[in-house]
């Protein structure tokens, strides 16, 4: 009986972890799409020289880099909020 209870507890933790990873992956993909859609018109309105200069200096995956950093900050903020709520509930 204890084996079944342990398996259920473990599988629920795994399911939560998979859910969190999926949420972060979807959030990252959405942010990449958002930054791509925001930066695309900007490159069309800037003068050609400045676009060439930016292309030489900035990495080609700048949108993905910005999106990953923002997603990590959001995930950290959510984690901190959850820990504060857990601390308040445990008092």
* pLDDT at site 49: 83
Domain residue extents for the chain: 2-90
pLDDT above 80 (res 7): no
Top-confidence residue, 29 or 7: 29
Q: Which residues of 48-80 are buried (b: 16+ CB within 10 A; e: fewer)?
A: eeeeeeeeeeeeeeebbeebeeebeeebeeeee
Summarize pLDDT for 21-65 with one digit per residue, the tens: 788 788 888 888 887 788 778 777 878 788 788 888 988 888 788
Top-confidence residue, 7 or 72: 72
């Amino acid at each position: 009986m204890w084996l079944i209870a342990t398996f259920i507890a473990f599988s629920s933790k795994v399911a939560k972890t998979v859910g969190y990873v999926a949420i972060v992956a979807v959030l990252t993909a959405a942010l990449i799409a958002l930054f791509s859609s925001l930066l695309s018109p900007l490159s069309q309105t800037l003068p050609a020289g400045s676009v060439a200069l930016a292309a030489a200096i900035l990495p080609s995956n700048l949108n993905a880099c910005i999106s990953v950093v923002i997603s990590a900050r959001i995930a950290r903020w959510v984690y901190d909020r959850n820990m504060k709520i857990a601390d308040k509930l445990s008092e």
